Amino acid sequence: MKVVIIEDEALAADQMREMILEYDREIQILAMLESVEESVEWFRKNSHPDLIFLDIQLEDGISFSIFDKVDINCPVICTTAYDEYAIRAFKLKSIDYLLKPIEQDDLDDALKKFGEMSPGTKEQQYIRDVYRQIQSLQKSYRQRFSVKVGQKIRTFKTSEVAWFLSDDGVTTAKLKDGKDYVVDMSLGQLEEEMDPATLFRINRKMLISVDSIEEVHIYSGSRLKLDLQPDPGNDVLVSIDRVTGFKKWLDDGRD
């Protein structure tokens, strides 16, 4: 069997190579490619493999775009960190995938499944459809707000928001320059429309931007106290049930 690995992290690519050879030392690794551009060039100049291991997100874009630029007809096993939209697309089109960090047993199962496929089904399936499916499923987030101020309409960008505060049914946006605007949305509605990589709901009253955090303090056991800028003027505490999610959000930008 001849295999190509497309992976932009050198360590991950080396680990993938070792895991494949651990499954079967007779497998030939034809190439280890790092980018869309390099992959397109390689496939245009070389005979295609029996199987491709494909990382979804490469340094120069989504790897599925390779298939828009060169005609490839061989099976693909996608590798990815958890992405609900991508996985939904894979399931819809029956393309195999492995979640990172990849375990040897999972890789073995994928290669075994490939080995058991009948010759007539050993072809690259629906990859362009999956690419379009992922693009259509990707959620877009609110980029700006328009609010009424007296007899005028003001607009501001989401990136200008330091935090949102809900008090007595009124939601206020505090901008990084200190300005306040009342927005006609609940915190729950805002959570649905805002990018969770940049804003996090720390308690029932506040949704904050990561850029607004100046200090994080251990407070009263396992609770956390935050210093924000602009300063809300009172203690800002992360609810106990949200502490774990908040720490993870600080680490990697997702809830």
Both tokens assigned to 245: 């999610």
* Percent of the chain surpassing pLDDT 70: 83
Same domain? For 89 and 161 the reply is: no
**Same-domain status, 129 and 159:** no
Q: Are 28 and 112 in contact (CB under 8 A)?
A: no
Q: How many domains does the chain have?
A: 2
The predicted model gives 158-177 an average pLDDT of 94
Round to whole Å and give the CA distance between 222 and 244.
10
pLDDT tens digits, residue range 119-142? Answer: 544 444 455 555 555 555 555 688
Instruction: Mean pLDDT check: name the lowest of 40-44, 93-97, 227-231.
Output: 93-97
Same-domain check for residues 116 and 188 = no
Give the CATH number, domain containing residue 111.
Answer: 3.40.50.2300
Residues 103 and 159 in one domain: no
Average pLDDT in the 21-50 region? 94
Collect all residues with Cβ–Cβ distance below 8 Å to 147 and sequence separation of at least 6: 153, 154, 155, 156, 173, 181, 182, 183, 184
Please indicate, yes or no, whether residues 233 and 178 belong to a single structural domain of this protein. yes
Mean pLDDT of 33-50: 93
Among 116, 137, 158, the domain boundary falls at 137
Structural domain span for residue 23: 2-137
pLDDT in tens, 205-215: 999 999 999 99
- pLDDT > 60? residue 94: no
Residue 234 burial (10 A CB sphere; 0-12, 13-18, 19+): exposed
Indicate whether 103 and 59 sit together in one domain. yes
From 99, 120, 137, give the residue that closes a domain: 137
In DSSP notation, 96-137 reads EEEESSPPHHHHHHHHHHHHHS-GGG-S--SHHHHHHHHHHH
The reported pLDDT for the residue numbered 241 is 84
Residue-wise pLDDT for 95-125, tens only, equals 567 888 899 999 999 898 888 765 544 444 4
Q: What is the mean pLDDT of the chain?
A: 84
The CB-side HSE value for 129 (13 A sphere, CA atoms) comes to 11
Are 108 and 157 part of one and the same domain? no
Looking at the structure, tell me whether residues 49 and 87 fall in a common domain. yes
What is the model's pLDDT at position 245?
87
Do residues 119 and 157 both lie within one domain?
A: no
Q: Which of 137, 162, 188 is the last residue of a domain?
A: 137
Q: Which residues contact 107 (CB under 8 A, 6 or more apart)?
A: 16, 19, 20, 23, 98
- Indicate the pLDDT class of residue 252, thresholds 50, 70 and 90: low
Position 92 scores a pLDDT of 41
CATH number for the domain that contains residue 180: 2.40.50.1020
Do residues 196 and 150 both lie within one domain? Answer: yes
Dihedral sign computed on CA atoms, order 53, 57, 60, 63: positive
Phi and psi at residue 66, to the nearest 5°: -55, -40
Confidence of residue 74 (pLDDT cuts 50, 70, 90): confident
Using CA atoms, how far apart are residues 81 and 100, in angstroms rounded to an integer? 5
Using the predicted structure, report yes or no on whether residue 15 has a pLDDT greater than 90: yes
User: Do both 185 and 107 map to the same domain?
Assistant: no
Same domain for 107 and 160? no
Show the tokens assigned to 168. Answer: 């007595």
- Give the least confident one: 28-37, 112-121, 172-181: 112-121
